[in-house]
Each structure stands twice: as C-alpha cells, then as structure tokens.
Amino acid sequence: MEKKWWQSSIVYQIYPRSFMDSNGDGIGDLQGIISKLDYLKELGIDVIWLSPVFKSPNDDNGYDISDYTDIMDEFGTMKDMEELLSESGKRGIKILMDLVANHTSDEHPWFIESRKSKDNPYRDYYIWRDPVDDSVPNDLGSNFSGSAWEYDELTGQYYLHFFSKKQPDLNWENEKVRKEIWDVMNFWIDKGIGGFRMDVLEMIGKIPDEMITVNGPKLHDYIREMNRHTFGNKDLLTVGECWSATPEIARQYSNPDGSELSMIFQFEHCLLDEVPGKGKWELAPLDFIGLKKVMNKWQTELMNEGWNSLFWCNHDMPRIISRFGNEKEYYMESGKMLATLLHGLKGTPYIYQGEEIGMTNVKFESIEDYNDIEIRNMYNERIANGYSHEEIMESIYAKGRDNARTPMQWDDSENGGFTAGRPWLKINPNYKRINVVNNLADSNSIFYHYKKLIEIRREYTAIVYGDFKMIYEEDDNIFAYERNLNEEKIIVVCNFYEKDVIFKYPGASDKSLNILISNYKDSSLDLSNLTLRPYEGIMYRMV
Ligand code: TEU
Ligand code: CA
C-alpha cells in the first residue's frame, strides 16, 4: 500500500470551548488556541482536529451549525481562523475541520425556510412527515432521549431529529443538499485546511420510513460522490465517525483506492463497560477479554487493507484514567500504561486535550453544574421514570460527556489558568495537582510519556507499518502484542490491573533487546520470565 502522510501522523483533538480563553468571557476561543500552539508543538503532534467552530446557537456546543462558512461569535472571527491556519502551518501543524453535515441547527437559514410552508423550495432539505394516528410517524428515537420526531404547528407535520430538536436532520436524498455540503467543504479546502472529521457520517444514508438509521443503502454512494466533488484529489486526512461499522464496512470506508475516506472512528472498544444492549448509562465492569478481542479483531482485519484510528478519548467519552485505569492508587502508572498500549498499535493515534496531562473525570453534586444536553435530557427522563438522583449521578460520573469537557488545566491559579473570568463549565477541582505547568516541570510526567511515545513512533517505522500479532490472548490481566516489520520487532507488554503477574514471552530469544519506554524506572529485560508490577507497561524493541 502506498504510504500516506496521515498514517505516520499524530492527531490532537481540541474542544475549543474548553481549551483556552483569551478574553476573560469564560469561553475558550481561537486566539486562546493560537496562544497554545507552541505547547502543542512541544508535545509533537502533526494535526489538530478542531471540534466545530462554526456559527451556532450552541444547543449542542457547536454540533448544531447555523452557518458553515462563518465562525461562532464567542470563538472569534474568520480573521482569527485564518490566523490559526497560518500560525499552525508555520509550525507544521495541519487543521481538520469538524464537518457536521448529518443535521444543521434549526436556526440555519435552510431550516428557517424549510419550516415556512410545505411548498417552500427548502422544504425537502429536511425530512418532514405527516402524523400517523394523530401522533409521531414512527418509533424512531433521538440519541438525546425521547422521540426523533418533533411536531411543527405551522404546517402540521413532524420533522426528524436524531439528536436534539434543535438539530433537524438534513435530507441527503435531495441532491441539492449534497451539493450545498460540497460547496461548504470546498470553501474550507480552499482556505487550506488539512482535512475533515465527519460527524455521524454513518447516518447520512438513513431511510426513516424503513427504520434504517445507519449504513443505509446509498451511504457509500454519497461518500464516493462527495469525495469526487471535494477532497478526492487533494491529499487530505478524512475521518468519519461511524459507530456501527464492522471491519468489513471499515475496509470500504478506508479503501486504499482513495475513493472514500482515509479512515473512520469505530467505537467497539468503548462499549465494553456497559450492560450489553442497554446503552452507555447502564454501567458494568470492563469486559477485559472482550476488549482484547475487539482490539485484536480491528488490528488484524485492517492490517493489509484499510486503516485504523486509535483513540481512548474524545469530547463524548469519559477520561481514560478514570475509565480503564486506577485513578486513586496507580494514577501515573495506569495513565502511562494505557498510553503505551494504544500508541504501540497500528493506526493513526488521536490524543484528546488534557489526556496528555492525565486529566480525569469530574463529580459535580448538582445536575445544575452540568451543561451537556445529552446528560440533562437523560437526567430529566430518568427522574420522570422514577430513578433516584443518586443512581443517575453514578451513571453521569462514569459516562457523562462533561467529564471530557471541563476546562483544560493549564496551571494552579484560579480556574486553572483557563480563563480570567468565570468558566462556562466548572473546572475539575483537582487542577492544582493535575495541570500543564506541573507536567512540564516533571521529566517523569504523563506529558513527557506521551511526548516520548510520539518520538518513538517517528523513529521506529515498525510501529507505523509493522504487522500486528496479539500474544497472551486468553490472559485475564495482561495485554500484550508484537509488531513486526522486516527484521524489526516491537513487543508491548502491559499489566492491565494492580496484581503482580508473570509474563513469559513465547519466543524469547538471544536477539538483542532494549526498552523503548516503560512506566517503571527499572523494568526487566528478561522476557523469558517477567514479573509485571501493578499497571506496568513496557515497550521493547528486538533486533
Ligand atoms: O456524536 C454522535 C453520537 O452518536 C453521540 O451522540 C453519542 O451517542 C454520544 O455522545 C455518546 O456519548 C457526534 C458528536 O461527537 C457529538 O458531540 C454530537 O453531540 C453528536 O454527534 C451530534 O452532532
Ligand atoms: Ca473567550
């Protein structure tokens, strides 16, 4: 397979609202990001995925767009955006824009028009249906609780919204809609961006009348058509958010012939600490063997065709140390082990802001301290259904999206150096201990661990291109694998838990072995009989 720049790149996701506030209004902004580019350069990343910065009434913090070619007032102006592009360009960093094209805001001019009358030229930009028996057209539900259909008095029809009712779904069957989106994409491509992250891309081929929400029959036609009219011959990074993809579908999305995308995000590894089939709020202990199986499957099935994205965190996910690590007793060890485990895999790694300094989940007592619409809708629905405040909060503490969205912790000053004003969402009270300044001052910090992982990936091509082979598949505590390229072998061995465990490398040999990175100072080189301490995670190189 021809080598692509995005295969050897490291992506850093910024949630602009929470990254850095430059003007004291409590909301992160583009100038704030610009002021921190040198910090990102120091970490060593190549690409920034910028969560949406377009005009938006912020019902879902920018994932409800009212103008795709202008910047949200709170974040700055188009001039600031152009400055961000040129300043990051100077540092060799590309910018991915977050294309939310499955739906718009209800305040987008297209929807304002669409809503006016049944014969408005924009009516078919969205999905309108007559009532059935004086009620909703069918049982489709919104991802943010309740029905996916909202009644509109004016014309006596329902419109479809798979997210909040302020996020009406676009009708991709309408060619005019598809063309509008290509125009938007070309507008941004012309500004010199590095590519797109595409929000809930798997949903654009929906057929609501047949209850088909994802992977509709025309999905890949739409993507190939979009590819031809926009980024197809531009060498950009494109990554689609595709929760329901199987490896087979992913090979299609990331087909090496370049007809669709670079890669997708799939989330199978994020669904293993919930009661199967019951959704994210029904908590269950992590199915560790399940996690290994899922990782093994995706690594293996996309090894020679297609490409994986690698991530633990994003703006919708809990913090990984709180989730799969041991925040209380082995904070450093588990944080570093999880990073090593992920960054040794084959694919393009994504780091979510704050992950590189070991930020953790947050626990606010009052629901009023939460902002996220998914959390608030779920809370209200569950209270109405008789759940107690306490049990709902347990779910929110474990899985709520605001865990990822508390402001970035820059230093130990008030509000963690994020803002001189009052932050839009409270900062995690642990900011005095966990912050950028502390990380940069300690050569043993989580930050320097991530930085080193990035350097190692640059140095050893086996990590980017090598084959993957899982070892110790059935073990209940150890996550271990090999990466092989020509004569070079990388071996990653991780103890996922706090008990000491013994690892015996099946092919221990007399070849020379060295440690590329470990979360303990004195990790052993004796792979034939290795005692792994709590959360010990080591990456070896054998030549
Ligand atoms: O997320 C898609 C999505 O399915 C999420 O709502 C997901 O179910 C939930 O967050 C899991 O916790 C994308 C964006 O990443 C998310 O931030 C947006 O709210 C959503 O689309 C709507 O645009
Ligand atoms: Ca601001």
Per-residue pLDDT reduced to its tens digit, 343-388: 999 999 999 999 999 999 999 999 999 999 999 999 999 999 999 9
Is 474 an active-site residue? Answer: no
What architecture does CATH give domain 7-103+175-449?
Alpha-Beta Barrel (3.20)
Q: What pLDDT sits at residue 388? A: 98
Q: Which atom of ligand 1 is nearest to the CA of 102?
A: 23
CA of 75 to the centre of ligand 1 (A): 21
Cα angle, residue 436 at apex, residues 434 and 441 outer, rounded to 5° = 95
For residue 412, pLDDT over 80 is answered with yes
Q: Which alpha helices (DSSP H) does 238-310 contain, by range?
A: 247-253, 288-301
Domain spans of the chain?
7-103+175-449, 109-160, 465-542
Q: Whose CA is nearest to atom 8 of ligand 1?
A: 143
The C-alpha atoms of residue 396 and residue 472 are separated, in whole angstroms, by 34
Q: Per-residue pLDDT averaged across 435-450, rounded?
A: 98
Q: Which class would CATH give 465-542? A: mainly beta
Both tokens assigned to 534: 């709590």
Is 119 an active-site residue? Answer: no
- Whether 402 lines ligand 1, by a CB cut-off of 6 Å, is no
The C-alpha atoms of residue 402 and residue 372 are separated, in whole angstroms, by 6
In 362-487, which ranges are E strands? 467-471, 478-485
Mutation probe of ligand 1 site: the residue of 102, 316, 352, 399 with most atoms within 8 A of C-beta: 316
pLDDT band at 510 (very low <50, low <70, confident <90, very high): low
Both tokens assigned to 414: 């008030």
pLDDT band at 2 (very low <50, low <70, confident <90, very high): confident
Both tokens assigned to 514: 């060295």
Q: Whose CA is nearest to atom 14 of ligand 1?
A: 199
- Phi and psi at 193, nearest 5°, equal -75, 165
**Catalytic residue (one of 59, 150, 199, 260):** 199
3-state class of 248 per DSSP?
Answer: helix
Whether residue 142 contacts residue 84, with contact meaning beta carbons closer than 8 Å, is answered with: no
Q: Is 195 left (phi over 0), alpha (psi -120 to 50) or beta?
A: left
The C-alpha atoms of residue 260 and residue 220 are separated, in whole angstroms, by 8
- Whether 21 lines ligand 1, by a CB cut-off of 6 Å, is no
Quote ipTM for the complex.
Answer: 0.97
For residue 24, pLDDT over 70 is answered with yes
Mutation probe of ligand 1 site: the residue of 13, 105, 199, 377 with most atoms within 8 A of C-beta: 199
CA of 63 to the centre of ligand 1 (A): 9
Q: What pLDDT sits at residue 511? A: 74
Q: Per-residue pLDDT averaged across 41-59, rounded?
A: 98
| Nearest ligand to the C-alpha atom of residue 424 | 2
CA 379 to chain centre: 23
pLDDT digits (tens, 9 = 90+) for 185-235: 999 999 999 999 999 999 999 999 999 999 999 999 999 999 999 999 999
CATH numeric code, 109-160? 3.90.400.10
CA of 244 to the centre of ligand 1 (A): 13
* Close Cβ partners of 410 (under 8 Å, ≥ 6 residues apart): 20, 416, 417, 418, 435, 436, 437
Q: What pLDDT sits at residue 506? A: 78
For residue 17, pLDDT over 80 is answered with yes
The C-alpha atoms of residue 132 and residue 517 are separated, in whole angstroms, by 62
Question: If you ran DSSP here, which 8-state letter would residue 428 be given?
Answer: P
- Whether 401 lines ligand 1, by a CB cut-off of 6 Å, is yes
Q: What pLDDT sits at residue 507? A: 74
Name the percent of the chain lying above pLDDT 70: 99
For residue 162, pLDDT over 70 is answered with yes
Q: Per-residue pLDDT averaged across 29-56, rounded?
A: 98
Q: Per-residue pLDDT averaged across 275-284, rounded?
A: 96
CA of 466 to the centre of ligand 2 (A): 43
The C-alpha atoms of residue 466 and residue 485 are separated, in whole angstroms, by 4
Q: Whose CA is nearest to atom 11 of ligand 1?
A: 316
Q: Which atom of ligand 1 is nearest to the CA of 399?
A: 12
Q: What pLDDT sits at residue 519? A: 98
Q: What pLDDT sits at residue 508? A: 67
For residue 470, pLDDT over 80 is answered with yes
For residue 1, pLDDT over 80 is answered with no
For residue 512, pLDDT over 90 is answered with no
CA of 478 to the centre of ligand 1 (A): 32
Whether residue 389 contacts residue 381, with contact meaning beta carbons closer than 8 Å, is answered with: no
Report the chain's mean pLDDT, rounded to a whole number: 97
